[in-house]
Structure 1
Amino acid sequence: MVRRGVIAFIVSVAFVSTAMAAGSSSSSTQRKSVDYEMGIQAIKVAHYEKALSLFGSVVEAEPDNADAWNYIGFSNRKLYRYGDALGAYNKALAIDPDHRGANEYLGELYLQTDELEKARERLNRLDDICTFGCEEFDDLKAAIEAYEIR
């Protein structure tokens, strides 16, 4: 009986980890809005202006959507609008301080603006959040290491 419980737990952990969208903080299987899904697609093909418009609609309807704010920050960062990116990441983190994507991307923004110590603070935050490790921690750590040897 205990063995079945352990197997069910392992299967549920595997499902949750595969359900996670890059840049999101939740494992919810709740259906995302059409604008949200189209925004993800716009980002995948580097249409950041379009993504900003779509995610702007998302946060109009759902001002507490940390994932959408994170993607607004990401899109602005890719367009070199660092001030707008910073504001969006801060909104995402005000809603969800443990948002892995926003912590990673904010750290990457800090590297782009030559604020290494602030990037390391985001890495330390991810270390606290990601008890068993996570891709966001690994990605930011690699970005910091690349920054340090450039």
Structure 2
Amino acid sequence: MRATLCLTAAALLACALPLQAADTPAPAPRAAAPAADPLGAARARIAANDWPGALNALRAVRDERNADWHNLMGFALRSQATPDYATAEQHYNEALRINPAHRGALEYAGELYLKTNRRAQAEAQLAALAKACPSGCPELTDLKDALARAKP
């Protein structure tokens, strides 16, 4: 009798409730996973001071409309065993043409100017960087420190 009662109670409950499939909304689509950073391999090579590997990774991506790409190209070119300052400078200039407030390119171009004995241009980069981050930023601090260490 107890089994019959349970079956009857279950049947009543099933009849009283609409089918779950009909009133259960379809699951929301999963949020798309963030796109992988196309420059991630190059950034990892740069972090490991693997300049040839970084340059190869950047050349594989070859995103010439991307200020970050140009900035990283400039950084890798000027950091390799035999620095290519002229080409690095071209990449920094292109990064700044695309994004005049690109903090990394402003800092690194300033450091390049110091390495190539162009202090006035480095100071101009510092002024532009101060405008780009008026509340301060690591790039501003790093370039100030580089200027302080450089011979006047």
Larger relative helix fraction = 1
Within the candidate set 101, 109, 114, 1:111 is matched to 114
Aligned residues with identical type, % of pairs? 36
1:55 aligns with 2:58: yes
Residues 1-53 of structure 1, C-alpha deviations (whole Å, 9 max, x = no match): xxxxxxxxxxxxxxxxxxxxxxxxxxxx76412xx111011001111111111
1:39 paired with 2:34, answer: no
**Residue pairs, 1:71-82, within 5 angstroms:** 71-79=72-80, 80-82=83-85
What residue number does 2:65 align with?
Answer: 64
Aligned residue for 1:97?
Answer: 100
- Structure 1: segments with no counterpart, 5+ residues: 1-28
Q: Distance in 2 between matches of 1:108 and 1:30?
A: 32
Which of 123, 136, 139 matches 1:136? Answer: 139
- Can you give the 5+ residue segments of structure 2 that lack an aligned partner in the other structure? 1-33
Instruction: Count residues with an aligned counterpart.
Output: 117
Q: What TM-score results when the alignment is normalised by the length of structure 1? A: 0.74
Q: Which has the higher contact order (CA 8 A, sep 6+)?
A: 1
TM score, norm. by length of structure 2: 0.73
CA contact (8 A) 1:106 1:119 kept: yes
C-alpha root-mean-square deviation of aligned residues, in Å? 1.4
Paired letter, 1:32? D
